[in-house]
Every structure is written in C-alpha cells, then in structure tokens.
A and B are shown apart, each in its own frame.
Chain A
C-alpha cells in the first residue's frame, strides 16, 4: 500500500516539476513516467540490497537510459527527461533532515546526514554519467561510419 502511494506520488511530483520546468504536451507524460520508473527501480532494488547508495545508483542508471532512448524517439534533448525523472530520487528529504539537525544544534548528526546527502547525490550523478558516456560512444561511432560512407 505504502509502495503504491509512493509510486503514484512520485509520478505526480515529477509531473509537477515537469510543469515547473515548462515541459510541454506529450513530453509531460513521458517525463513524469520516467519519475515513476526511477522510483519503481529504487523500490525493486530494495529486495536485493538495503544499501541506499546502490539503489539510487541503479535507479539513476535506468532513468538515464530511459531518457536517452526517449530523446531519440521524440527528438529532443535527453536532459529534459533526465532532469524531470530524477526528481523523486534527488536527496531533498535527506537535505531536509540535515537542515533539521542543524536547526536543533545536533552538529554531529548534521554532519553525518550531510555526508549521506552528498554521497547519495554522488551516486545519482555517477549513475547518470555512465549511460550517457556509452550513448555518446555509440553516437560517435555512427557519426564516424557515416563520414566514412560519405567519403567512399
């Protein structure tokens, strides 16, 4: 039940941010579905491991692959999907708790939470980087092949 609520609100939250970021029409739905997918992967990975870093990493890899594929299908920058779909993953909650500890003058807990926040952000960032690098390589290979064919 809790999972269903999380998935639905992940979708709605991404939709809200897609509107904030001024995404248009059919891409609204595709981008918010990316958010749903990302959170789905996070929850699924929960059965395999309880390491948050691994779960966030896996989810961001999948959402970036989704973004890059969608970018090629509907012909627009992959950023549009990646930025919107990563909304449920971004460590806003963790950052909020960091701020809370800071407000309650619990500095050691604040530092620990801050480190967790940065670590989560790093795992998301690295997770996004890997598929992007692969897609770039593929793109480059196609480009070079086209150039060769043009010349011959």
Chain B
C-alpha cells in the first residue's frame, strides 16, 4: 500500500493544494488588512487605504484585488488561479489622527511592495510601528493651551482672553482624558467639554479674567469643532468616495449641533 497522497486521483490532490494555498492566502490577507485598518484609523484617506491594500495584495501574488473602503469598514476580495477568490471584511471603529504613524505605515507598505518583504518581516514592522512612543500627557496639555490661546488671538481676542482661553484649554484636556478613560460616546464627550468650556468662559468674564466670552470660547471651540472633518468630508465626496464623505459630513454636522447644544445649556444657566 502506498501513502495516501500517492493513491489519490490527481484532481483531488490538486484540490488539497488549492486549499492549502487558500489558507496561506487568507493569512496574508488578514495581515494586509491589519495595515489597512491602522492606516484608516490614524487618518489616511480612503483612496490611500484602497490603493495601499491593492498594491500589497498584488505584491503578495494576487492576480486581482478589489478593495472597497468606507470610514467604518474595509472589504477586500482577491483572486488568483492558484487559490480562487477570497474575501475578508473588517469593521473599523474609532479614528484618531496620528500622522506620524500614517507616515510609518506608508513607508512599510512601500517597502513591502518594493523589496518583497516576507510576511514575518511585515508583521514585525507593523508591531514596531504600533509600539512607537506617543507624546506624553504634559505635551498634550501644553498643546491644548497653545491651540486655545493662538486661536483666541487669531480671531481678534485680547491678551487677557488668550490667557483665559489657554487655562480653560488645559482644563478641557483633563476632562477629555477623564472621559476617554470611561470610553464614553464621542457626542457625550463633546457635549460635556462644550458645557465646561462655556461655563468657565462665562465665569472668567464675570470675575474680570477676560474681556469677551466669545473670544475666549472660540479658542477652546477650535479644539472641539469639526471644521477639519467638514472640509475632509467634502474632499472625500469630490474625489468620488461619496458614501464615506456623506457619513463624515453627517457626523460633523451632528457634532457641531451637539457642541452648540452644550453651549446653549450653559448660557441658559449663567
């Protein structure tokens, strides 16, 4: 008696080879999607994510790769005569701009395609990128103060307004950090931050620590307001990613209304 593989008719042996190949392809695809997911989460444009995933798949031997990305999901189907058609989807949640990470992911993607890195090397590269240090809490506090006072002056506030705005900015960061720990919904976080911002700005002017509530608030609001999201959503729509654009547009509008609501609540109290 020969071994099992020898006794199999040739078409079935081919079938096993196909399955083994498909299993391997699925594993590759999984890690390619990891890169795509992180790119999207740290602020990569939809077109960049689609393009990168497609290139990676083709570099790893797919004959055809169809990628569909919206802000909350990625769908990829790859095809090759060696393993047939394979599809994986990934649900994406939570977006936080991290342009340094985006840059590193982009480099990794280029290196993988250009130098044909192995799967192990690519996985190691991704782990290194995710482990890279972030700015500390102190720097973030200074950043909030810097943005608040800059925009308070930018829109025509006095030096006193800018100072008040900077201090309120720091307090907002503390609140934001506390809320983030509870993993609350983004709208609730915006509502609480705008309430606190409006309250503190009103109090500051009442006690003579600022000249104009508007000028103090506008510095703080630049931290919360979805102006960039609004612009980016339109950019998405104009470049043909209508669904992503619409989703972001509605999200931005709702967020703006939530912030308005927060300020209105406090203005009613003061």
Query: Which residues of A come within 8 Å of B, CB atoms?
Result: 2, 5-6, 9-10, 12-13, 15-24, 27, 76-77, 79-80, 83-84, 86-88, 90-93, 95-96, 98-100, 102-103, 117-118, 121-122, 124-126, 128-129
What are 10 A-B interface contacts by the 8 Å CB criterion? A16-B150, A23-B100, A79-B99, A80-B99, A83-B43, A92-B218, A95-B225, A102-B260, A118-B230, A122-B234
Secondary structure call for the A interface: helix
Known A90-B231, A96-B225: A5·B44 in contact at CB below 8 Å? no
Contact B235 A125 (CB under 8 A): yes
Bin the interface of chain B by size.
35 or more
Contact B147 A17 (CB under 8 A): yes
Known A23-B99, A77-B102, A95-B230: A10·B154 in contact at CB below 8 Å? yes
Contact B234 A95 (CB under 8 A): no
Closest 7 CB pairs of A and B: A16-B147, A99-B260, A90-B227, A92-B227, A125-B234, A13-B150, A9-B154
Contact A88 B100 (CB under 8 A): no
**Which residues of B sit under 8 angstroms from A22, Cβ to Cβ?**
97-101, 134-135
Beyond contacts A2-B156, A19-B140, A125-B235: 20 other A-B pairs, Cβ-Cβ < 8 A, are A12-B146, A16-B144, A20-B143, A21-B43, A21-B97, A22-B98, A22-B135, A76-B103, A76-B106, A76-B107, A77-B99, A83-B97, A87-B228, A88-B154, A90-B227, A90-B230, A95-B225, A99-B256, A125-B232, A125-B238
Task: Write the chain A residue with the least CB distance to B222.
Answer: A92
Known A22-B99, A77-B102: A98·B256 in contact at CB below 8 Å? yes
Q: How far is the CA of A101 from the CA of B226 in the complex (A)?
A: 17
**Which residues of A sit under 8 angstroms from B227, Cβ to Cβ?**
90-92, 95, 121
Task: Write the chain B residue with the least CB distance to A87.
Answer: B228
- Restricting to B88-137, which residues have a CB under 8 Å from any CB of A? 97-103, 106-107, 134-135
Contact B230 A80 (CB under 8 A): no
**Which residues of A sit under 8 angstroms from B35, Cβ to Cβ?**
none
CB distance from A140 to the nearest CB of B (A): 12
Task: Write the chain A residue with the least CB distance to B194.
Answer: A99
Q: How far is the CA of A102 from the CA of B99 in the complex (A)?
A: 34
CB distance from B229 to the nearest CB of A (A): 9
Q: How far is the CA of A17 from the CA of B176 in the complex (A)?
A: 16
Contact A19 B230 (CB under 8 A): no
CB distance from B48 to the nearest CB of A (A): 7
CB-defined interface of B218-257 with A at 8 Å, one 1/0 digit per residue?
Answer: 1001100111101110110111000000000000000011
**Which residues of B sit under 8 angstroms from A18, Cβ to Cβ?**
99
**Which residues of A sit under 8 angstroms from B155, Cβ to Cβ?**
93
**Which residues of B sit under 8 angstroms from A24, Cβ to Cβ?**
100
Q: How far is the CA of A20 from the CA of B218 in the complex (A)?
A: 18
